Structure 1
């Protein structure tokens, strides 16, 4: 059928496009040990590197707020492409930089532009796919950032093995993303109507059943901030995104300093975090749709609780390579699948076709605001007190997030379903014997 062929084409285009974004995002984590070595005499240590990453995430969070609403108002394809072009330009500026000030500015602009990517993806997905497949399609598309992270770290790590410096890494990343942007512009359709096809059904339980009202930004924001479920999702996003960003950024440097790997080996081994995240994302999407009947809370709770002992073990002194790699893999397995629910299936569940990109943008914005502090604090603690203190702080954050996950599950999933079951039972006519 034409619709199914276009859905497959759209999903593939979004997957490749968003994966390519990560070439211009993971490159800083890969290059961090090299930058610290080259510019350490000018004050670029782990604490300052954490500040650069934190400023970037703060700009990313701000961009999420604006670009989520923008995606719903002007269309996903436009901001998806604009984000790619902006990231390419900022990456080239960083590559040409000669000091810390340029690095701060270029990375901030890069992350601000990259905030357009996910908002565009969510908007296009909400237009092309039925609400009945949101968990599956967003689980699949959420793999794009994991695949992008894996490919970036393996490829850029291989370039380091070949003797290419950090500037070469940035140039290769920018050039590849520019080519993907061109291909996306030529092949991606924003909506079924743009190619003469009917729209798929949207979720009847979304917050936006009135399509005309949903086009007003004030209505979108007001509706969300009156929703207890949405407010709890913001708290979950704060914790899980902070953990995800801190681990993703600092694992390569951690493996260099704690496990005594070379920069190229650390880059490639750090991809295990995302490799196991792929299994997590596929498994979490299937379990929530097929076994848990759309409930996401149990998996969010399991992830948060499981991360506490894993991060505590990472805080202990490493005596070899095996344990750091096992724990890095376990962190990806526990965290990345449940994390993907928040700005993915849960945003689509809540916002439907009219407000999903806004929901995803707001949820991600709060999450990346949390990441700003986590990235800075992890770098500061690692620089001043060692990696043990840094990972203990992250374990505390995981414990706090588990509390929020428990509240979300009980108040938004378990209790409403119990109430619905009691009402259904009460509606059954009594049988006189």
Structure 2
């Protein structure tokens, strides 16, 4: 019998690893999208005890703040300890925190449990990025991260559809949280059996490291940073990386505001039921999937690897859509179309930031740290956007909330323009290369 060629064996393991990461990170969203789905029910039950849209926005904002802090810490831990370990620890911690929230009886418990949940959930993407850097060649970073970036949209869509169906069946918000935790626990067991840290664990060669990362050099393929200082220093000496942080701040703020508030907006502005709003809010993520695939294709095939033009076009396109959303809705169709357009414009360019662009910057040594820093700064912006959107919607209506988001899109467009003019006005050569 002929032996299987090593390259074929590596590709099989790569697809197994990618499938495990995809399923695992998608499942994370059962315990992240659940609060957005349950928001109208929580407001109804606890409104007399002070839980209105503004307070719920504060809970979400505190969660994002802890998520942002965890991104930095867990990004470093991912590079120092390994991606598989923190990926699985994040799942287990999220299950525990979700159960605590589901059993909670007041606003104080909700604040603490949601903050803890988002803190441990910050392990997920860092673990995914680190494991991907170990398993795939730098030549395939763009395509593999495009595929894996779909996981958070698939997770969001499935979570909102499934959790919305539970609401339609009469399951309350507590049952919704416990069901999400139980499902994620089952996925954790599957990932524990299927994931490996690197090809070396199964007797295969490690793919080549990026020659253009901030850590390029003779030790770049080791996958281990020499020290904490050498791990962090190159990022803050790179103008391109600092611009990447600014872009992440704006794009993540916009993304967080929409990901969380769309179901509540559809209940109040489009006059949909809670279950229908949860399910229709998945349109935002469905069009986001189209955006991710389209943005990756356009960047590689038409723009020769440049991301700046798409980042700029997305921000400029969002402005008129957000201005239209600031006007009172006359039916349910308009809000559904507009939220779908936001997903189409926003989520593809957003996926570049903590995905392929972070992998390019960090390589095998610093990939988790790069994505952690990018996401941490981004979610700092998301913290403010969640609170501001909720506060404006509560006090002055949804129109003022969307006007503020339109202003943020304008400022982010300026950062995208600077990034393109200073970093990308040069030809970038790309080629079709196998994933190994």
Q: State the TM bucket, normalised to the shorter chain.
A: over 0.9
Task: Structure 2: give runs of 5+ residues left out of the alignment.
Answer: 1-7, 430-436
Paired position in structure 2 for 1:119: 126
Q: Does 1:32 align with 2:39?
A: yes
Paired position in structure 1 for 2:433: none
Match for residue 317 of structure 1 among 299, 309, 328: 328
Other structure's SS at 1:400 match? helix
Paired position in structure 2 for 1:334: 345
Q: Does 1:404 align with 2:415?
A: yes
What displacement does 1:216 show?
1.6
What displacement does 1:176 show?
0.3
Alignment of 1:282-431 (within 5 A): 282-414=293-425, 416-417=426-427
What displacement does 1:214 show?
3.0
1:305-328 deviations in Å (ceiling 9; x for gaps): 111111111111000111101100
What displacement does 1:222 show?
1.1
Match for residue 158 of structure 1 among 156, 165, 172: 165
TM-score normalised according to structure 2 size: 0.95
Alignment of 1:77-226 (within 5 A): 77-209=84-216, 210-211=219-220, 214-226=225-237
Tell me if structure 2 keeps the 8 A contact 1:77–1:189. yes
State the alpha-carbon separation in 2 of the partners of residues 127 and 289 from structure 1: 23
State the alpha-carbon separation in 2 of the partners of residues 290 and 138 from structure 1: 16
Tell me if structure 1 keeps the 8 A contact 2:80–2:225. no
Match for residue 42 of structure 1 among 33, 45, 49: 49
TM-score normalised according to structure 1 size: 0.95
User: Number of matched residues?
Assistant: 418
State the alpha-carbon separation in 2 of the partners of residues 328 and 216 from structure 1: 45
Runs of 4+ in 1 over 6 A off after TM superposition: none
1:248-277 deviations in Å (ceiling 9; x for gaps): 100000000000000000000000000000
Q: Does 1:58 align with 2:65?
A: yes
Tell me if structure 2 keeps the 8 A contact 1:90–1:106. yes
1:165-184 deviations in Å (ceiling 9; x for gaps): 00011000000000000000
Alignment of 1:209-248 (within 5 A): 209=216, 210-211=219-220, 214-248=225-259
State the alpha-carbon separation in 1 of the partners of residues 378 and 174 from structure 2: 30
What displacement does 1:215 show?
3.4
Q: 1:417 to 1:290 in 2, by over 3 A?
A: closer
Task: Structure 1: give runs of 5+ residues left out of the alignment.
Answer: 421-433
Other structure's SS at 2:297 match? helix
State the alpha-carbon separation in 2 of the partners of residues 287 and 17 from structure 1: 28
State the alpha-carbon separation in 1 of the partners of residues 227 and 161 from structure 2: 43
What displacement does 1:285 show?
1.3
Alignment of 1:254-265 (within 5 A): 254-265=265-276
State the alpha-carbon separation in 1 of the partners of residues 316 and 81 from structure 2: 40
